[in-house]
Amino acid sequence: MRSSHEVVQAFTQRVRRLTSHPVLRRHPRMIIGGGVAAVVVTVSLTVSLIAALAGSAAPVRPQALTLRPLPPTPTARPTPTPTAHHATGLFDPFTGEPVRQLGRVLAVKIDNIAAARPQTGLQSADLVYIIPVEGGLTRFMAVFSSHIPSVIGPVRSARQSDLDILRQFGRPAFAWSGATPHLVPFIERAPLVDLYALLVGGYYRVGFRAAPENLYANPRTLLREAPHASKARDIGFRFGQLPAGGRATTSMTVRYPATTITFRWSARAGRWLLSMDGAPGQAAEGGQLGGPTVIIQYTRIATSRFHEYGGRPPYAISVGSGRAVILRNGRAFTVHWSRPNLSSGTTFTLPDGKRMQFARGQVWVVLAPDNHASYLNAGTV
């Protein structure tokens, strides 16, 4: 029988050969993750060594191991991108928050029917527009620049109102899934980077929703498809201290023919929280949608020149002037809005002639009908 010293030497050599095997060196998770070969051989050698040192002459049969598969690693729920503050003296023109540099502008059309909720990625947007569409419903246009999430969706089709809104950003990247054939040439000729879903990478279908609410996008991939998209620039917003005046307000509601949008002030959250059709507007990442500043911009809702589903959808006119209500810090301010042309931004002016100051952070813009009766007629054409 071999001495204990000889057994130890043999054991050491076998372990070295095992751990230096080229396959295991290329795939270390075979050892760390509970590879069967590594576990069985190591236990077998250990039992043999113990038996040898104990002086047992009979061979020792290692006990069989019951190896249970490891439980699947839980998938972490995505969380909203935290606001990063950088002492650079540079501020994002869409949110008023400090940024290290101005990012390229990515606008994404996102559906807002019941089957599309909860949406993904809206919490990371700098701006979110609520835009009327056919059937008395609404859709979102989310504008990203300073915070880019990992997923956005569900992505849906474009409308005429989108082109007017996009012009103020210069040459933004625009992600959309389709449009009526008559509108498509106008999108292709518009001053934007066309990220149509059938032309560029970054889009994919998910299995937990039915079409057409299952089209999602990786915005980082979309931005790689748009290296020359314009960066964030002044679109008329001003950020600063809470102005004097206004009226204490806990909530405000905008009604469309088939959708109700409500923002309620939460002092605890420091934001106006969104509800839609009487239910909290939840984010897929968790939490309730909303922002520190909400612009309810009353404008004329005409009918588009482009037919959609056999009719002419609403066309929200965002150029011109009119009345708006700005919600911030639990107060409502009635202001005057003005946008002289498509290339310019929109200014918001208090009754004393001073520019309205927004709270820093995400801004929601609700394009609301200034004449509900005419909008009802437009929505049924």
288, part of any domain: yes
pLDDT at 71 over 60: no
* 252 and 372 both lie in a single domain: yes
Mean pLDDT over 129-134 rounds to 96
Tell me: the pLDDT tens digits for 240-279? Answer: 999 999 999 999 999 999 999 999 999 999 999 999 999 9
Phi-psi bin for 276: left (phi > 0), alpha (psi -120 to 50), beta?
A: beta
Band of pLDDT at residue 89, cut at 50, 70 and 90: confident
Mean pLDDT for the chain? Answer: 83
**In this model, does residue 49 exceed pLDDT 90?**
no
Let me know if residue 68 belongs to a domain: no
Q: Are residues 251 and 374 in the same domain?
A: yes
State whether 253 and 360 are in the same domain: yes
Q: CATH no. for residue 188?
A: 3.50.90.10
Q: What's the pLDDT band for 310 if we cut at 50, 70, 90?
A: low
12 & 128 share domain = no
Position 126 in a domain: yes
* Domain housing 38: 4-53
In a domain, 310, yes or no: yes
**Residue 166: inside a domain:** yes
The share of the chain scoring above pLDDT 70, in percent, equals 76
* Same domain? 366 vs 264: yes
In the chain, how many domains are there?
A: 3
Asked if residue 84 is part of any domain, the answer here is no
Tell whether 43 and 112 lie within a shared domain.
Answer: no
Mean pLDDT of the region 25-47: 34
Does residue 111 form part of some domain? yes
Q: Give the pLDDT mean for 163-178.
A: 98
Domain-embedded: residue 97: no
pLDDT at residue 104 greater than cutoff 90:
yes
- Is the entire prediction scored with pTM above 0.85? no
Query: Quick one: 286 and 364 in the same domain?
Result: yes
- Same-domain check for residues 284 and 354: yes
For residues 204 and 189, give the distance between their C-alpha atoms in angstroms, rounded to a whole number: 26
Give the model's confidence band at 183: pLDDT under 50 very low, under 70 low, under 90 confident, else very high: very high
